[in-house]
Copies of this chain bind each other. A is one copy, B any other.
């Protein structure tokens, strides 16, 4: 077996159709997503076996969430049902000079109460070759931080590759801990990080002036670390962004092409699509292809509604090759 595990909260996403504002929406489109499950679902589309670790309430909404993950092809055997509610977020999709807005309503969710103590992770991680986590889970609750640590520690002990997207969200971290109290011990269990300078500063309680400083520190401090990736986004407007990405090892740097995306259809999940592409490439031991494929996946996601990429390897490759855009008949 050669399985991937992703772990993290999956939320109900409620977004007004037709670029309407919250003030004027008549209905909400229903989608389901969460950073880590989005990564997993993209990898499934590309042929990987991915099992997602999360928890849901034991009601019709929790069952619906599971069925959506199943629809994406994710293995749902590691999902637990707990009291609590389904976490949700409201998304007002921006355009032009109007910014997108997200209102999170996730506190008290079943996931936030789940610490993973109901499973034998030694056994569940048999056959697993990659684990992916993000900085969101440890920011939600002590239980979710414990869950992440519990799984990463065993993964490390089994030499499973561990990738972490350590995006720092200031409006989380409300359970009494600060990021730098929790994140370092998770970072030291990871072999691949997706992180920018600000993320490093917040998670390590540092004050790096630029990325090269941060990177130098990280590679020295965390010897198990093999790669650090980051994306660079220039926001001309909510409709028009420019994007590229870079991948760093201790010795080398690989840079992707630069892309213009305009007009953006759905900005959410673009970082997750990037992460998925990057992971696919690193699993093939091809860092150069990884950063190009990852960036192309991230770019393509801007043209897909919802949290998920829903695109084949061939489609992403065409974007990377610059040959997409014509009608396929």
* C-alpha spacing A100/B105, complex, angstroms: 25
In-complex Cβ contact of A30 among B26, B105, B303 (8 A): B26
A20 in the interface (beta carbon within 8 A): yes
A72 in the interface (beta carbon within 8 A): yes
- Residues on B with beta carbons closer than 8 Å to the beta carbon of A71: 67-68, 70-71
Could you tell me if A102 and B67 are in contact, using CB atoms closer than 8 angstroms?
Answer: no
Could you tell me if B326 and A261 are in contact, using CB atoms closer than 8 angstroms?
Answer: no
Chain B nearest CB from A183 CB (Å) reads 19
Chain B nearest CB from A63 CB (Å) reads 7
A221 in the interface (beta carbon within 8 A): no
A101 in the interface (beta carbon within 8 A): yes
Could you tell me if B22 and A103 are in contact, using CB atoms closer than 8 angstroms?
Answer: no
Instruction: Count residues on chain A whose CB falls below 8 Å from chain B CBs.
Output: 80
* C-alpha spacing A281/B73, complex, angstroms: 31
* C-alpha spacing A61/B102, complex, angstroms: 11
Chain B nearest CB from A279 CB (Å) reads 21
A252 in the interface (beta carbon within 8 A): no
Could you tell me if B328 and A24 are in contact, using CB atoms closer than 8 angstroms?
Answer: no
- Residues on B with beta carbons closer than 8 Å to the beta carbon of A82: none
Could you tell me if B60 and A327 are in contact, using CB atoms closer than 8 angstroms?
Answer: no
In-complex Cβ contact of A97 among B19, B100, B325, B329 (8 A): B325
Could you tell me if A262 and B305 are in contact, using CB atoms closer than 8 angstroms?
Answer: no
- Residues on B with beta carbons closer than 8 Å to the beta carbon of A96: 261-265, 299-300, 302-303
Q: Which 10 A-B pairs have the closest CB atoms?
A: A98-B303, A96-B303, A71-B71, A22-B60, A26-B26, A235-B325, A100-B327, A101-B328, A97-B319, A23-B310
